Amino acid sequence: MWTWFHKLASPPHFYNLSRLLIPWLAVPGYLLIAYGAYAGLFLAPPDYQQGDAFRIIYVHVPSAYLSMMAYMIMAVAGGIGLIWRMKLAHAVAASAAPIGASFTFLALATGSIWGRPMWGTWWEWGDPRLMSELILLFLYFGYMALRGAIDDTAKADKASAVLALVGAVNVPIIHFSVEWWSSLHQGPTLVREGGPAMDPGMLYPLLAMIFGFTLVFGAMLLRRIRTEVLHRERRTRWVKELVLAPGGSI
C-alpha cells in the first residue's frame, strides 16, 4: 500500500499515469452530463411548487457540491504537503483552487438567478448559506492571490496550505448553515434522514449530473496538476528526457 502510494506520488509516474486516466474520467463524465442535462431539462416533471424553475438545480447542486469538495481537496492536500512534505500534494492543492473558485462562482450565480423568481431577490445579505458560500469564493481568491504574491514556490506552498487549512472551517458551516440558522435557502433534499425527498424522475438526472460533474472535475484537476508538476520539475532529468524523446508526449 505504502509502496503504491509512494510510487503514485513520484512526479514522473503521476505525470504518465494521469495522462492515461484523463480520458477515462472525461468521456463518461461528459456523457453523464449530456444525459443529465437532457433528462433534467426535458424529461423530469416540473416541480409542483417551483414549476420549471426547479430545473436550475441540475447545474446549481453539482456546482455547489464541487465548490466545497474542491476546497476540501485543497485543504487536505495542503495539510499532507505540510506534514509529509510531499511535493505532489502542494501541486494538487494549487491546481484545485482555480477550478474550485469557478464552481463557487457558478453556485453563487445560478443560485442568484434561481432566487430572483423564487425569492423575489437576486441576493440576500445576511443569509447564512449565501454569505458562507461567498466567503468560500473569497477564500479561493485569497489563496490564489497569496500564491501569486510569493515568488518562492516552497514558501508559497507553506503559506497557502496554512490559509487553506484555516479556511476549511467554513466548509461544514456552508453545509450545515441551513440547519443551524434560519435561511431562505431550502434544507437538504438529497442527503437527509429517510432518503432523498425527490421523485425518481427528478432524482436520476440530478445524480447523473453530480457524478458527471465529479468525473469532469477529476479530469480537469488531473490536467492542471500535470501542468503544475511540469512547471515544478522543469529542471529535472525526467522532464528533459520527456521533452527530448522522439515525438515527446505532452
Partner 1 sequence: MEKLAMGDYGTYVWSCFVLTFVIVILNEWRARRRHKAQYRDIEVRIKAVEERH
Q: Residues with Cβ < 8 Å from 17, sequence gap 6 or more?
A: 8
- Residue 129 is placed in which grid cell? 448559506
- Residue 27 is placed in which grid cell? 468521456
Contact 66, 239 (CB under 8 A): no
What DSSP designation does 56 have? G
Q: Residues with Cβ < 8 Å from 63, sequence gap 6 or more?
A: 103, 104, 106, 107, 110, 213
What DSSP designation does 46 have? P
- Residue 68 is placed in which grid cell? 466545497
- Residue 19 is placed in which grid cell? 495522462
Name which of 191 and 244 has its Cβ closer to partner 1.
244
CB-side neighbour CA atoms (13 Å) of 127: 19
Only segment of 2-10, 165-173, 193-201, 230-238 that touches partner 1 (CB under 8 A)? 230-238
Task: Confirm or reject binding of residue 116 to partner 1 (CB under 8 A).
Answer: yes
Q: Taking the complex as a whole, how short is the minimal distance between the CB of residue 107 and partner 1, in angstroms?
A: 10
Contact 226, 19 (CB under 8 A): yes
Q: Taking the complex as a whole, how short is the minimal distance between the CB of residue 77 and partner 1, in angstroms?
A: 17
Only segment of 4-12, 123-131, 154-162, 227-235 that touches partner 1 (CB under 8 A)? 227-235
How far, in Å, CA of 190 to CA of 198, rounded? 8
Give the residue, chosen from 113, 150, 165, 203, that forms a contact with partner 1 under the rule CB under 8 A: 113
Q: Is 86 helix (H, G, I), strand (E, B) or coil?
A: coil
How far, in Å, CA of 111 to CA of 214, rounded? 19
- Considering CB under 8 A, how many residues would be counted as binding partner 1? 40
Task: Confirm or reject binding of residue 48 to partner 1 (CB under 8 A).
Answer: no
CB atoms within 10 A of CB 6: 11
Give the residue, chosen from 39, 106, 136, 164, that forms a contact with partner 1 under the rule CB under 8 A: 106
Only segment of 80-88, 97-105, 130-138, 177-185 that touches partner 1 (CB under 8 A)? 97-105
The residues pairing with 51 across neighbouring beta strands, listed in sequence order, are 47
Task: Confirm or reject binding of residue 244 to partner 1 (CB under 8 A).
Answer: yes
Binding string, 186-225, against partner 1, x = CB under 8 A? ------------------------------x---x--xx-
How far, in Å, CA of 68 to CA of 196, rounded? 20
Q: Taking the complex as a whole, how short is the minimal distance between the CB of residue 102 and partner 1, in angstroms?
A: 5
Only segment of 76-84, 101-109, 146-154, 166-174 that touches partner 1 (CB under 8 A)? 101-109
Give the residue, chosen from 16, 28, 35, 53, that forms a contact with partner 1 under the rule CB under 8 A: 53
Task: Confirm or reject binding of residue 114 to partner 1 (CB under 8 A).
Answer: yes
Contact positions toward partner 1, by CB under 8 A? 37, 41-42, 46, 51-53, 55-56, 58-60, 63, 98-99, 102-103, 105-106, 109-110, 113-114, 116-117, 216, 220, 223-224, 226-227, 230-231, 234, 239-240, 243-244, 248, 250
